[in-house]
Structure formats: structure tokens, C-alpha cells
């Protein structure tokens, strides 16, 4: 009987394999429980295991999340029996074996091997009783620490014997060190050792609970995790690499690389619930100029609307919104308004009327519109699962539909977990019904964690639509609170309603690092804390930390005291100004890092083990981290510190950013600190482009000259890149950008075209830049120069076309640095600066 079953299964395999050829998947086995098992190759080291019933209605997350199509042409599947298969790719393999398939405890054992090492062993129950609650257990024989599973206000390294809930919820006054779900979820885990890194992505958008196993629970003492989703299918991606950055790039290949944000969005954002009127907004804007503090974006929360009806304005307090936006934009700044997913049920409100007539609201099981309470009162929720609804929602952003909007107005979407005040767990009923454009129904429980992601997709599409017909399509800027795998393709996110407390400041660092490891690079936390009132010391320290958040915004609750940067006393204002000035000076470096993230699938902020994967003492470090590949930062996040511990990896030289003093590598160093101290260190072997002139906004910096920070490694070498474009549109996709490589070796600093992994869609456009280098700061020279000269085909604009000229340069020693002044070498040109000793 078993022999007959095996023969039938083999026949079914052959038939199903032919049927699945068009979607590039290989069917491995059909199980007696009525489930099928698929394995797919997604690049050499990425293999996917999918287990689902042969028949049934199961929501497929991958239809809208997976960014790239699978390529199974290199996949080799050999099945010794109907219950045992070996799947081989060029650099990875997976053995899938069925056990006890005729019993109630039937399961698969999956061994994933990469780099000659079995890095992941998974047990997947496939008995009939598990088909509605998919689960698996993964163990990692080579790993020392596990990371990921955001979002939780917890430490960076995952804790043993703790169950992390992935269920997007609006949690009022969320607790620290609590593994319960909050606003967003990414079901991705990274297992790391000094020799190997493995990633597991369980792509299921239902509620999921992941218990981190005690090491002693496994026979070999390996760390592990037990995953269990409420409903759906097992759809798991295994990623293996030599280090975290390789696994990170593989993850980005699956769910998408982050979009390249416009430059203004990397500046400082000023927000509160709520700026009350046009005059209030203009006064805040003028305050930044009066106190000489740069900022880029002013935000409006829900009170700017007419009765909390989104895409409207309170015309009593904001009688001419277009004039307000244009007044702010005249200084190179932008505005943001909030647009939540709940829609007020009020006849005559155009959004509600259209959503009702088109049937675009989420439904109840009986077919009526789902209703609940949120900020406007009785509300319904747009069914963003329906592509037709997303397409319609996108039209609301068009300037002829959204009265008072302009191209300088951007979007904040909040409460999109979705938050429902009068419902269990303050969220949508799990039995609420979504409909696809074709009319197919799916219950909310299947896609709950994706709701905010789908909202973000629609808003992103809306911004593109509002920009259509312009000379160049502008890149959107959207901030979301709720998110899922793939949200990084469309928006920034922030960690929600934190508190003005020191422990919330400190915990923001591992929260953001965990998100970054899970392929969400454009992340931030509300500086100053959303709830309660920060004292001056906390506000200053939070801004000093916030300059190293990829997304940098201050925000506050309606009932808090006003806290614009100049309201904490003259000394605090000076310190806040100095910190924000550092952020703006680093925008060329930060923008270049975001471009690399977009092009390569890397990230912006990185735990130390990401850059130094072999140093086991760094695996749990979360207060000192990398800001891009070249800066080590250690924000002061504890009250009243007189001494601050900075952890310096042994794998590099480190220099104090302000003095060039060389620090001792491989040490935990206590440094004396004052309220003016911001611990920043450059990595030996790096070159960092900056702009040092203090301006009112990033737009005012476009033509400013550069200062290059050159930090030498143990061989006296260094390397860095500068990427620049128009900072605002998609013209870079048609070749309108400059990507320059800066290199120092044997006393020679050179600028050339950078080797790039980014390939434009076409090269129909070009980009011109008049930016030049006005200063070079060099850390780590073993002796003082005798002579420094610049050689270029265009030095100071004085050379004849194509004729190299040499200009002798002045320099001086400042602290432990050599500062070369006014080389005036154009960044778009090839040039050399030569140091003679």
C-alpha cells in the first residue's frame, strides 16, 4: 500500500511539475495530508520552501510583496522517493524529507546548506490538523545570536525563552522590553556566528508568534525559533551567507530594495499634534530662521482637517492652504499633512460618498460596510487589498482633487495597523472581509499585518499620479506607522508613540537597528518623545542622538508643552543648533549611503557586528553602532553621564571626528563628556564628503562646496564615494547623476568615476554639477607634508580644455589633522591632490 502510494505520488509530481513550469517552480512532493511542497530558487544562496493544501482558499502574500521574479532554471531536484528530495543550486542545497506521513504527527525535516555548512534545520508539521495554523521550528547549528523580528521595544539580540508576537497593533503607552506586537511586523530572523550568517523569512501576514528556544532544548545546543501563524500557508525563504551584509542583500532581493528618498526628507522635520493655524505655522517657520537652525519639513496633524475628514482643510484656521505651503516652499522647505485610512461616514464628504458608491470599504461577513470608531467618530476603512480601491485612492492625491495641495505637500499615514478604537485589541475584526478587484473574498485575519503596507502602496501611487505630466516625476515622501515586508520600497517609518523618558531614548537605538537588519533602512523615532514633557537635558541628548537616525523628526502630543528647539534656554538652543548643523553637514555622505542602499540592498545604520562579523564581543552591542559604512557613533542616552563608554572594534583604525585623535582599537573606552559632547569617530580607510556651510534648508546647500574627511587605514589608504543628482526626481533612472570615487594611496588623493552596481533604465539624461572641493581634512598622516599640489584638467576653472594644470595648495595642522585649503577641484572632473613629504 505504501509502495502504491509512492508510485501515485511520483506520477502526481511529474504532472504537477509540468503544470508549474510556467511559473518557474519545481514541485517536490504531494503529501497524503493533501498538501503540496514546492521549492524555488531565488539566486544562488536563496531557496524557498512553500507548503500549502492542494485545494483551498489561501491568501498569497507574495503576490504583492515579493519584488523580483524567481529564476528556477538553475534548480536541480532529485527525488529518491516520494518523501525525500534533494534540491541543489550552484551555491546552496536543501534536503527535504517526509516523516510519519500517514500519522497525525506527520512532518518534514528540511536541511538548508550553504558554503558547505548546514546552517538551518527546520521541522515543518504537515499533518492535516496543522493546515489552518502553519508552523515550523528552525534551528541554527552554527549560530551564536539571533536578531530581527521587528517591531518590538526590546534589545537587539533576541532573548531565549521569549515569544515575540508579530501582530500590528495601536498600543497606547507601549511598554519597553515587552515582546507583544506594536505597530509593524517583519517576519525575518537573522542567525549569526563569526563564520556564518543565515536568514529566515516566513512570509505570512497573519498574526504570528515566534518563540526563541533555549539552546539546551536542542540536542546540539544550537539556538532556534518556533514559528506559528494563525492562518495561511508555510512560505519560507532560506538565505545563507558568509556575513550579515550578504544575507541582508539577499533579503532585499526578495522583498525589494529601499527606494531612494528625496534629499529634503533626510533633513530635520518639525512636527506636533497640532500646529493650530496658518499664523502658527508661519511663526514656527520664522523661528527657525530667527535662531539660525536649519530644517526642511513642517508637519500638520489631524486638527488641520475639516472635522478630521482627510484630504480637506479647516478653512477657518487654514483659510488659504496653498499660500501657506508656497510661503514655506519659498525658503526651499516642504510641508506634510496626515491622511489616515479610516474615513468619516458623513454624507456629502466626497471620499466617503465615492468609497460607498464604488464598494471600496472593507465589509462585514454579512456584506455591509465594516464600521468602527476612530478619530472622526463613526468610520469605515478603505479596502486597500482591492487594487481597484488602491487605484481610486491614488486619484485623491491629484491637486485638482485635493484642494489646497501643491507639489510641495507630502504625506503622513498613521493609525493604519489599522486602529479601531471600539474593537477587540483596538484593531479590525479578524472576520472582516476584503475583496480583490476580481471579487474574490479573503478574511482580514489573513492579511492583517499587510494592511498598512497596502495603504502605503496606494499613497505612493497617489504621489506619482499627482506628479504625472510635470517636466519630471518627483520622488514621493511618505511616513507610515504600520508596515510589513516590502514597505521599505515606498516609505519611511517611525517607532510610534514613545515617551519623553530616558529609557525610551535608549531603547530607540536597538529598535531602529533591528528594523535596519530586517531591510527597513529609512527609520526613526520621535525626538523628545511623543508623550509627556522632556526636560532640557533629555531634549538636547535626544536631538544629539536623532541626528544619527536615518529619519530625523521631532514630534509631540497635543497635551504637551510647546517644544520648538529654541524653547529650552539659550545654552540648549545652541547645543541643538550645533547638533542639527552636524546632521546637515553630513547630508552628502548620508545621501550617498541611501543611494548605495537603493542600488545594492544594503542599509544605513548598522550594528557593529554587521561591519565586523568575526568579533564576538560585538554581537550584542546596541548603543554604539555604524552610521553608514564609515562613521561610528555612540549617542549619549543616559541622564547625567560624566563618562561615556564607547566600544571600538579591533578591525579598523578610529579617529575622533572633531580632532583627528586616533583612538585605541579593540577597546571599551570611557570618554569624559559634557552636554556639548557628541561621540563621532571616522573609520580608518574611509573618505566622507560633507558640506560645512550652515544654511536654512537642504535646498539652500545644493551649490555649496565640499569638505572631504580622509581617514587613513594601517596602510595609509582610504576610499569613499559621492553620489549626487537633482535630489528630487526620477531623472537619475535615466542617467542624470554623478557617482564619483574618492581614493587616497601613496600620498595621492584622486577623484574618478565610481564603479557602480547601479544601472539606469536608460541614459537619455545627463547631470551637471558646479560643486567643488574647498577643504580636505586628513587624519592619520605619519608626518607633516613638505608640499601639496592639485593636478586637474579643471582646477578653479582656469585650465584650458583637456590640459592638466598644477596648483600649489596651502595647508595647516589643526589638532591631529592636516587641513588642505581651497583646492577648488570640481567634483565632476578627474583630479589628483598630491602630498610630498
Tell me which residues are annotated as active site. 414, 417, 497
- Asked if the bond preceding 151 is cis, omega within 30° of 0, the reply is yes
Show contacts of 7-13: CB within 8 Å, 24+ apart: 7/82, 9/82, 9/83, 10/79, 10/82, 13/79, 13/82
Residues 554 and 271 sit within 8 Å (Cβ to Cβ): yes
Q: How far apart are CA 77 and CA 591, in angstroms?
A: 44
Classify strands 334-338 and 409-413 as parallel, antiparallel or unpaired: parallel
Given the C-alpha cell 608626518, which residue does it identify?
Answer: 783
Cell of 480: 507610515
Neighbours of 746 (CB within 10 A): 9
- DSSP states along 43-80: STTEEEEEEEESSS----THHHH--S---GGG-EEEEE
Residues 507 and 635 sit within 8 Å (Cβ to Cβ): no
Given the C-alpha cell 531614548, which residue does it identify?
Answer: 505
Q: How far apart are CA 395 and CA 412, in angstroms?
A: 17
> From residue 93, how far is each of 66, 240, 275, 731 by CA, in Å?
22, 10, 57, 41
- Residues 6+ positions from 462 with CB-CB distance below 8 Å: 393, 394, 395, 396, 397, 398, 411
Q: How far apart are CA 533 and CA 490, in angstroms?
A: 32
Sign of the torsion angle spanned by Cα atoms 615, 619, 623, 625: positive
Q: How far apart are CA 642 and CA 635, in angstroms?
A: 13
Q: How far apart are CA 623 and CA 801, in angstroms?
A: 51
Neighbours of 3 (CB within 10 A): 7
Q: How far apart are CA 453 and CA 51, in angstroms?
A: 24
> From residue 160, how far is each of 218, 220, 225, 343, 769 by CA, in Å?
12, 16, 9, 42, 53
Sign of the torsion angle spanned by Cα atoms 427, 430, 433, 437: positive
**Percentages (nearest 5) of helix, strand, coil residues in the chain:** 25, 30, 45
Cell of 250: 539577499
- DSSP states along 525-594: --BT-SBS---HHHHHHHHHHHTTSSSEEE---TTSPP--TTSS-HHHHHHHHHHHHHHHHTHHHHHHHH
Q: How far apart are CA 361 and CA 342, in angstroms?
A: 10
Residues 681 and 656 sit within 8 Å (Cβ to Cβ): yes
Given the C-alpha cell 508643552, which residue does it identify?
Answer: 561
- DSSP states along 273-305: TT--SHHHHHHHHHHHHHTT----EEEE-GGGS
Amino acid at each position: 500500500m505504501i509502495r502504491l502510494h509512492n508510485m501515485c505520488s511520483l506520477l502526481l509530481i511529474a504532472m504537477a511539475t509540468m503544470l508549474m513550469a510556467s511559473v518557474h517552480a519545481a514541485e517536490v512532493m504531494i503529501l497524503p495530508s493533501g498538501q503540496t511542497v514546492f521549492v524555488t530558487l531565488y539566486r544562488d544562496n536563496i531557496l524557498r520552501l512553500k507548503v500549502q493544501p492542494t485545494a483551498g482558499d489561501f491568501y498569497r502574500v507574495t503576490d504583492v510583496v515579493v519584488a523580483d521574479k524567481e529564476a528556477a532554471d538553475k534548480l536541480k531536484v532529485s527525488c529518491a522517493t516520494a518523501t525525500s528530495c534533494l534540491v541543489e543550486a550552484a551555491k546552496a542545497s536543501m534536503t527535504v524529507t517526509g516523516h510519519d506521513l500517514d500519522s497525525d504527527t506527520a512532518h518534514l525535516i528540511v536541511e538548508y546548506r550553504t558554503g558547505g555548512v548546514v546552517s538551518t534545520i527546520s521541522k515543518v508539521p504537515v499533518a492535516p490538523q496543522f493546515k489552518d495554523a502553519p508552523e515550523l521550528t528552525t534551528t541554527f547549528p552554527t549560530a551564536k545570536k539571533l536578531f530581527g523580528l521587528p517591531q518590538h521595544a526590546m534589545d537587539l539580540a533576541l532573548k531565549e525563552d521569549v515569544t515575540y508576537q508579530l501582530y500590528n497593533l495601536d498600543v497606547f503607552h507601549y511598554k519597553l522590553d515587552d515582546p507583544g506586537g506594536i505597530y509593524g511586523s517583519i517576519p525575518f530572523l537573522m542567525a549569526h556566528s563569526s563564520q556564518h550568517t543565515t536568514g529566515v523569512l516566513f512570509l505570512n501576514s497573519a498574526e504570528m508568534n515566534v518563540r526563541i528556544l533555549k539552546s539546551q532544548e536542542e540536542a546540539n545546543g544550537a539556538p532556534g525559533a518556533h514559528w506559528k501563524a494563525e492562518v495561511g500557508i508555510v512560505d519560507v525563504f532560506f538565505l545563507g551567507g558568509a556575513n550579515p551584509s550578504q544575507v541582508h542583500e539577499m533579503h532585499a532581493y526578495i522583498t525589494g530594495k529601499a527606494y531612494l528618498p528625496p534629499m529634503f526628507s533626510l533633513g530635520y522635520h518639525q512636527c506636533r499634534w497640532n500646529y493650530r493655524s496658518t499664523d502658527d505655522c508661519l511663526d514656527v517657520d520664522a523661528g527657525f530662521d530667527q535662531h539660525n537652525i536649519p530644517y526642511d519639513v513642517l508637519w500638520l496633524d489631524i486638527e488641520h482637517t475639516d472635522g478630521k475628514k482627510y484630504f480637506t482643510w479647516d478653512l477657518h484656521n487654514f483659510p488659504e492652504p496653498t499660500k501657506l505651503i508656497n510661503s514655506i516652499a519659498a525658503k526651499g522647505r516642504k510641508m506634510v499633512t496626515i491622511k489616515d485610512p479610516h474615513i468619516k461616514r458623513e454624507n456629502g464628504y466626497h471620499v466617503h460618498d465615492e468609497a460607498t458608491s464604488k464598494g471600496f470599504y472593507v465589509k462585514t461577513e454579512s456584506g455591509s460596510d465594516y464600521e468602527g470608531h476612530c478619530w472622526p467618530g463613526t468610520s469605515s476603512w478603505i479596502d486597500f487589498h482591492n487594487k481597484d480601491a488602491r487605484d481610486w485612492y491614488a486619484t485623491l492625491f491629484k491637486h485638482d482633487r485635493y484642494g489646497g495641495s501643491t507639489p510641495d505637500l507630502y504625506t503622513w499615514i498613521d493609525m493604519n495597523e489599522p486602529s479601531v478604537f471600539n474593537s477587540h485589541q483596538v484593531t479590525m475584526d479578524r472576520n472582516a472581509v476584503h475583496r480583490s478587484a476580481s471579487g474574490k473574498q479573503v478574511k482580514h485575519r489573513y492579511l492583517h499585518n499587510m494592511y498598512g503596507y497596502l495603504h502605503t502602496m496606494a499613497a505612493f501611487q497617489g504621489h506619482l499620479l499627482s506628479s504625472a505630466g510635470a517636466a519630471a516625476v518627483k520622488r514621493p515622501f511618505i511616513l507610515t506607522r504600520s508596515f510589513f515586508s516590502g514597505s521599505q520600497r515606498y516609505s519611511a517609518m517611525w517607532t510610534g508613540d514613545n515617551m519623553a523618558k530616558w529609557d525610551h531614548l535608549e531603547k530607540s537605538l536597538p529598535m531602529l537597528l533591528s528594523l535596519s537588519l530586517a531591510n527597513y533602512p529609512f527609520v526613526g523615532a520621535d525626538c523628545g518623545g511623543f508623550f509627556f514633557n522632556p526636560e532640557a537635558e533629555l531634549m538636547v541628548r535626544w536631538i544629539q542622538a536623532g541626528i544619527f537616525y536615518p529619519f530625523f523628526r521631532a514630534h509631540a502630543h497635543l497635551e504637551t508643552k510647546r517644544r520648538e528647539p529654541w524653547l529650552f534656554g539659550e545654552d540648549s538652543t545652541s547645543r541643538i543648533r550645533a547638533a542639527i548643523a552636524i546632521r546637515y553637514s553630513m547630508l552628502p555622505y548620508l545621501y550617498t549611503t541611501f543611494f548605495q542602499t537603493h542600488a545594492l540592498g544594503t542599509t544605513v545604520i548598522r550594528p557593529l557586528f554587521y561591519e565586523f562579523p568575526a568579533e564576538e564581543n560585538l554581537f550584542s552591542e546596541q548603543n554604539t553602532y555604524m552610521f553608514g559604512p564609515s562613521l561610528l557613533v555612540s549617542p549619549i542616552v543616559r541622564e547625567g553621564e560624566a563618562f561615556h563608554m564607547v566600544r571600538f572594534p579591533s578591525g579598523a583604525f578610529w579617529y575622533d571626528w572633531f580632532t583627528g585623535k586616533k583612538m585605541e582599537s579593540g577597546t571599551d573606552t570611557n570618554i569624559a563628556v559634557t552636554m556639548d559632547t557628541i561621540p563621532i569617530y571616522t573609520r580608518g580607510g574611509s573618505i566622507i564628503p560633507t558640506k560645512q556651510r550652515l544654511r536654512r534648508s537642504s535646498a539652500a546647500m545644493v551649490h555649496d562646496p565640499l569638505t572631504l574627511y580622509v581617514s587613513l587605514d594601517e596602510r595609509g589608504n582610504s576610499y569613499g564615494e559621492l553620489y549626487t543628482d537633482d535630489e528630487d526626481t526620477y531623472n537619475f533612472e535615466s542617467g542624470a547623476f554623478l557617482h564619483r570615487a574618492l581614493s587616497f594611496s601613496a600620498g595621492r588623493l584622486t577623484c574618478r568615476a565610481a564603479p557602480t552596481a547601479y544601472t539606469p533604465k536608460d541614459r537619455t539624461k545627463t547631470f551637471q554639477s558646479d560643486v567643488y572641493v574647498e577643504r580636505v581634512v586628513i587624519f592619520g598622516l605619519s608626518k607633516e607634508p613638505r608640499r601639496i599640489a592639485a593636478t586637474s584638467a579643471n582646477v578653479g576653472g582656469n585650465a584650458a580644455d583637456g590640459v592638466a594644470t598644477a596648483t600649489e595648495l596651502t595647508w595647516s595642522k589643526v589638532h591631529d589633522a592636516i587641513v588642505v585649503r581651497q583646492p577648488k577641484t570640481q567634483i565632476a572632473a578627474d583630479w589628483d591632490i598630491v602630498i610630498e613629504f
